[in-house]
Amino acid sequence: EVYASSVQEKSFIMIKPDGIHRGLIADIIKRFEAKGYKLVAIKVMVPSKDLASKHYEEHAQRPFYPGLVTFLSSGPVVAMVWEGKDVIKYGRKMIGATNPLASTPGTIRGDYGIDVGRNIIHGSDSVESAQREIALWFGAGELAEYDLAMGKWVY
């Protein structure tokens, strides 16, 4: 049962406006899919300033917060929920360090980014953040429940 709940762990993963304008949607989805994770929700939207502010509310007192909110609400994002064993922690590993120049080659930010304010993709950093962010970006009915056929070859 512990195994089952870890397999069902969910993370909120979002391609930011720079990632969309850079043409990286397919590459990013490909990496999570090929790893063996399961896509259970996805949508394209231009986030309101209000939604962007709530998403990054933990940084409200930081000097970069206003610019961060403006950036995130400046264009389209691809909001997703991916499910699978350790997807929160391992997803952050696939994404790389906050500063793309400190990210290892082979990670998403390491392969594609340079500037910390244009770091392409977001991933939840804990179980609590994942729950908060999924509830912020998606309604309850927007998450699909299904068995992925390849799942039995992944686990």
Please confirm, yes or no, whether 21 is among the known catalytic residues. Answer: no
Q: Minimum Å distance from CB 84 to ligand ABT? A: 18
Whole-number minimum distance, CB 133 to ligand ABT, in Å? Answer: 9
Whole-angstrom CA distances from 66 to 55, 56, 122 are 13, 10, 17
132 annotated to a ligand binding site:
no
Which ranges constitute the DSSP H helices of the chain? Answer: 2-7, 17-21, 25-35, 49-55, 65-72, 87-95, 108-112, 127-137, 151-154
The residue among 38 and 122 lying less far from ligand ABT, judged by its C-beta, is 122
Residue 99 known to bind ligand: no
Are 72 and 56 in contact, with CB atoms under 8 Å apart?
Answer: yes
Residues in contact with ligand ABT by CB under 6 A are 16, 59, 64, 68, 71, 98, 116-117, 119, 122-123, 125
Q: Any binding-site annotation on 93?
A: no
Cβ closer to ligand ABT: 84 or 91?
Answer: 91
| Of 21, 55, 59, 122, catalytic | 122
Provide the minimum distance between the beta carbon of 74 and ligand ABT in the complex, in angstroms, as a whole number: 11
- Is 118 annotated in a binding site? The answer is no
Distance of alpha carbon 124 from alpha carbon 134, whole angstroms: 9
Structure tokens at 86: 């350790």
Residue 105 DSSP code:
B
**65 within 8 A of 56, measured Cβ to Cβ:** yes
Question: CB-wise, 76 or 151, nearer to ligand ABT?
Answer: 76
Report, as residue numbers or ranges, the catalytic residues: 122
Annotated binding site for ATP: 16, 64, 92, 98, 109, 119
